[in-house]
Structure 1
Amino acid sequence: MPSLDPGRTALLLVDLMERIVALPLAPRPGTDVLAAAGRLAAAFRAAGAPVVHLRVERPGVPAQPPGSDLVPDLPREGEPVVVKRTIGGFQDTGLHEVLSGLGVRTLVLAGIATNLGVESTARAAADLGYDLVFAEDAMTALTADEHRASVDLDFPRLGTVATVPGITLDGRG
C-alpha cells in the first residue's frame, strides 16, 4: 500500500467507548483493537494528520448507559469528537463538514463493530467520494463471521484493506 498524504488523510475511530470495548467480541477482544487503534493514532499524530473520534449516543433517553464515554486517554485535546445517533457516522452529525474543513479526502477507518458502525460509516463516506482504507487489525465485531464478511466481501469493494503496520503517512502524497 502506498504512503498516505497526512495533509489529506484522517484517522476515523468508531465507537471506541468503554462499554463497547468491554463486550465479548471476535475475532479479537476490544482491548486488542484499542491497542492497535492507539498505535495508529500515535502515527497519525506524529505525522500531523487529524484523528477524529465517533461516539454513539442512544436517542430519546434521559441518560446514556454507564461506559458511554470514549476510552480514557484515547482522544487528545483539540481532536474532534463527533456524536452520532444512528449506526453510521455521517447522518445528521456534521462529520462531513468537519472532514471537509480539515481538507480530508482519504479516511482510515478503525473501531467497533466492523460490520455495524465501521461499515455503515464507510458506505456513507464512499457515497460522499472519500477514498477509504480499512485497518483490519484495529477493528472487531460481535462475531468473527460478521467481521470476516465485512473485511473479505464488502470493504474491498469500497477501498483498501490493510493492517496497522502497512499504513504509513508521508508528505509526498
Structure 2
Amino acid sequence: MPALDPGSTALVLVDLMERIVALPLAPRPGTDVLAAADRLAEGFRAAGAPVVHIRVERPGVDTQPPGSELVAALVHEGDPVVVKRTIGGFQDTALHELLAGHGVSTLVFGGIATNLGVESTARAAADLGYELVFAEDAMTALTADEHHASVRLDFPRLGTVAATAEITLDGSS
C-alpha cells in the first residue's frame, strides 16, 4: 500500500471506550485492538496527521453507564473527540466540519465494533466523498463472523483493507 499524505489524512478511532473494549469480542480482544490503534495513532501524531476519537453517548439519560469514557491512554492532548448519539459518527455531529477544517480527504478507520460504529461511520464517509482505509487489525466485533463480513465483503467496496503495519504516512509507520 502506498504511503498516505499526512496533510490530507486522519485516523478515526470509533468507540474505544472502557466498557466496549472490555466486552467479549472476536476475532480479537479489545486489548489487541487498543495496541494496534495506539501504534497507528503514534505514527499519525509523529507525522502531524490528526487522530480523531469518536465515542457514543446514550441519548435521553442523565448519566452514562460506567466505563463510557474513552480509554485514557489512547487520547492525547490535542486529539479531537466527537460525541455521537447514533451508530455512525457523522449524524448530528461536527465530524465532517472538523475533518474539512484539517483539509482531510482520506480516513483511516479502527475501532469497535467493526460492523456497527466503524461501518456506519465509514458508509457515511464514503457518501461524503472521503477515500477510506480500514486497519483490519485495529478493529473487532461481537463475533468473528460479523467482523469478517464487514472486512471481507463490505469494506473492499468502500476502500482499502490493510494491516496496521502496511499503513504509513509519507514513510512514517
What TM-score, normalized by structure 1, do the two folds share?
A: 0.98
Matched, 1:40 2:40: yes
Q: Which amino acid in structure 2 is aligned with residue 161 of structure 1?
A: V
5+ long unaligned stretches in structure 1: none
Match of 1:158 in 2: 158
Give me the whole-angstrom Cα distance separating, in 2, the residues matched to 1:72 and 1:22: 14
Q: Which residue of 2 aligns with 1:142?
A: 142
Counterpart of 1:77, as a letter, is E
1:1-173 → structure 2 map (5 Å cutoff): 1-170=1-170
Separation in 1 of the partners of 2:32 and 2:75? 17
Aligned-pair CA distance for 1:55: 0.4
Percent identity between matched residues is 83
What CA deviation, in whole Å up to 9, does each residue of 1:77-135 have, x standing for no partner?
11100000000000001100000000000000000000000000000000000000000
How high is the TM-score relative to the length of structure 2? Answer: 0.98
Q: Does the residue aligned with 1:37 lie in a helix, a strand or coil?
A: helix
The AA in structure 2 aligned to 1:154 is D
| Paired residue secondary structure (1:151) | helix
* Secondary structure, counterpart of 2:73 in structure 1: coil
Give the number of equivalent residue pairs. 171
Q: Distance between the aligned counterparts of 2:103 and 2:74, measured in 1?
A: 23
RMSD of equivalent CA atoms: 0.7
How much does 1:57 deviate?
0.2
Structure 2: stretches of 5+ with no match in the other structure: none
Equivalent position SS for 2:10:
strand
Query: For residue 104 of structure 2, what is the amino acid of its counterpart?
Result: V
Equivalent AA in structure 2 for residue 21 of structure 1 = V
